[in-house]
């Protein structure tokens, strides 16, 4: 067992009931306080300034370049590799362990190091150089394929043989709390007429998990499924916003473009693979034998509960519309990374891979409005008496996620954004 994962550990920091951030979590992020960003972690409702911790010498025995904790993104820290990520996480676990008062008894140090979460502003945790989105849920791919091609042709011939993906836009990925402006573009609502231009009428969310990569191998080399965990720094919640009407008109023959690249939102805390190790679980059984480079041993899926809610402008109620789980994914993140690099493609520290929409087998576990409303045929009732086929201006979409076992809850916090009206342009 990884030292910091011990379920018996307790912290001298108060952990509220149902908190996503016990001492067994210790995620990483970038916080900002008094105008300065710094590398941070969190226990309970206290943000830990790792730059202050390093400046006071608490990381000296790790023999690392402590200046990485003063940076405005995590990329340089991620480049140090998994042994350092693990050592830092274990050190934080030791310092805040209820049985260790070395730091607790130093009131002046504690004052410099701990900041109440309400007093910080969370920032983008990494500079994302490249972003790849996958299409790895069999239930989601089957649902979408059934809608557009019929049940007999729901899955394309390649789908059971490789994790389908596409290269997306990294510059429009931003952190939770920022609004999403309704996109505009071409669409063809009437198949018997030409295209029209205007704001998307079929704006959608996609419940996904994003993976932040470590520094990969040189160009021309590949990462195997067995090695993949060493090159995956951690996970975030990922809302891959989609304009279904823009996407439906543009995607043939090269796939998604303007219907996807206007916005994606992530949660601010990156939960490490080490913290999630106790929640490994078998992935769905492969329906066909895959090629050797996609085969793997052991459990490579994760049991992470996921939920999506919508809050309208007419009510403070949060309408839960989706409850799903990451363990439903047919293609694992290790298979996705192995496939991504099998042709020699290199990855860099801080790159983003996203799972694709995570859907389960029951209607309440579908991870997008496209599926939940079945292309608008089954509107979802809201608590204010309205209904939703797709998202409306003023709606706030919130996603949460956590894994729980042996009394330990490892959570992600939330990813949340309000939808703003399309901007007015003269076209």
Among the three residues 105, 122, 139, which one is the final residue of a domain in this structure?
122
Model confidence band, residue 187 (pLDDT cutoffs 50, 70, 90) = very high
φ, ψ for residue 160 (rounded to 5)? -80, -5
Domain boundaries, position 215: 131-420
- What value does the mean pLDDT take over residues 365-370? 98
**140 is known as an active-site residue:** yes
Assigned domain for 425 exists: no
> Which residues sit opposite 232 in a β-bridge?
213
pLDDT exceeds cutoff 70 at 427:
no
Task: Supply the DSSP symbol for 206.
Answer: B
CATH number of domain containing 80: 2.30.30.230
Q: Is the pLDDT of residue 265 over 80?
A: yes
Residues 52 and 31 placed together within one structural domain of the fold: yes
Domain boundary among 122, 151, 182: 122
Asked if 162 and 70 sit in the same domain, the reply is no
Q: Are residues 354 and 247 in the same domain?
A: yes
The model's pTM is 0.97
| Last residue of one domain, picked from the residues 75, 99, 122 | 122
Catalytic residue, chosen from 140, 161, 339, 340, is 140
Same domain assignment for residues 189 and 228: yes
The predicted structure's pLDDT at residue 183? 98
Residues 118 and 260 in one domain: no
Distance between CA 155 and CA 43 in Å, rounded? 43
**Looking at the domain assignment, is residue 240 inside a domain?**
yes
Domain assignment present for residue 426? The answer is: no
Determine, yes or no, domain membership for 427. Answer: no
* CATH number, position 307: 3.90.850.10
What percent of the chain has a predicted confidence (pLDDT) above 70? 99
Tell me, what's the pLDDT at 2? 85
Tell whether 103 and 135 lie within a shared domain.
no
72 and 221, same domain (yes or no): no
For 192-249, the pLDDT digits (tens) are 999 999 999 999 999 999 999 999 999 999 999 999 999 999 999 999 999 999 999 9
The count of domains in the chain is 2
Is 256 domain-assigned? yes
Say whether pLDDT at 75 is over 70. yes
> Model confidence over 86-123: pLDDT tens digits?
999 999 999 999 999 999 999 999 999 999 999 999 99
HSE-CB for 344 with a 13 A CA cutoff: 2
Query: Cα dist. 340→152, 213, 216, 313 in Å?
Result: 29, 12, 11, 41
């Amino acid at each position: 067992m990884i030292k910091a994962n011990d379920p018996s550990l307790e912290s001298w920091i108060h952990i509220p009931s149902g908190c996503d951030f016990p001492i067994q979590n210790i995620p990483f992020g970038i916080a900002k306080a008094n105008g300065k960003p710094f590398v941070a972690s969190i226990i309970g409702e206290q943000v830990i300034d790792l730059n202050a911790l390093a400046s006071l010498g608490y990381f000296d025995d790790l023999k690392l370049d402590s200046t990485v904790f003063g940076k405005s993104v995590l990329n340089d820290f991620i480049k140090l590799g998994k042994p350092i990520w693990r050592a830092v996480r274990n050190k934080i676990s030791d310092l805040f362990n209820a049985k260790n008062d070395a730091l607790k008894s130093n009131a002046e140090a504690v004052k410099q190091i701990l900041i109440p979460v309400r007093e910080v502003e969370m920032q983008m945790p990494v500079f994302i150089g490249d972003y790849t989105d996958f299409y790895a849920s069999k239930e989601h791919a089957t649902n979408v394929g059934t809608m557009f091609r019929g049940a007999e042709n729901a899955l394309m011939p390649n789908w059971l043989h490789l994790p389908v993906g596409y290269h997306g836009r990294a510059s429009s990925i931003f952190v939770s709390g920022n609004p999403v402006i309704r996109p505009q573009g071409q669409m063809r609502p009437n198949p018997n007429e030409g295209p029209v231009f205007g704001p998307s009428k079929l704006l959608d969310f996609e419940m996904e998990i994003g993976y932040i990569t470590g520094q990969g191998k040189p160009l021309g080399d590949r990462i195997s499924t067995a090695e993949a965990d060493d090159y995956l720094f951690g996970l975030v919640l990922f809302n891959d916003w989609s304009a279904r009407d823009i996407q439906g008109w543009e995607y043939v023959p090269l796939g998604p473009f303007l219907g996807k690249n206007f916005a994606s939102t992530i949660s601010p805390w990156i939960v490490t693979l080490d913290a999630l190790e106790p929640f490994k679980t078998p992935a769905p059984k492969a329906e066909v034998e895959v090629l050797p480079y996609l085969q793997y041993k052991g459990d490579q899926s994760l049991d992470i509960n996921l939920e999506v809610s919508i809050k309208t402008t007419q009510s403070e109620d949060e309408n839960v519309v989706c409850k799903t789980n990451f363990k439903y994914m047919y293609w694992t993140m290790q298979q996705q990374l192995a496939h991504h690099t099998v042709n020699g493609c290199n990855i860099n520290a801080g790159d983003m891979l996203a799972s694709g929409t995570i859907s389960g087998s029951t209607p309440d576990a579908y991870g997008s409005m496209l599926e939940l409303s079945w292309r608008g045929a089954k509107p979802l009732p809201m608590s204010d008496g309205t209904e939703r086929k797709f998202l409306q201006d003023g709606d706030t979409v919130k996603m949460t996620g956590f894994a729980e076992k042996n009394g330990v809850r490892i959570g992600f916090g939330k990813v949340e954004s309000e939808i703003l009206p399309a901007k007015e342009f003269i076209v």
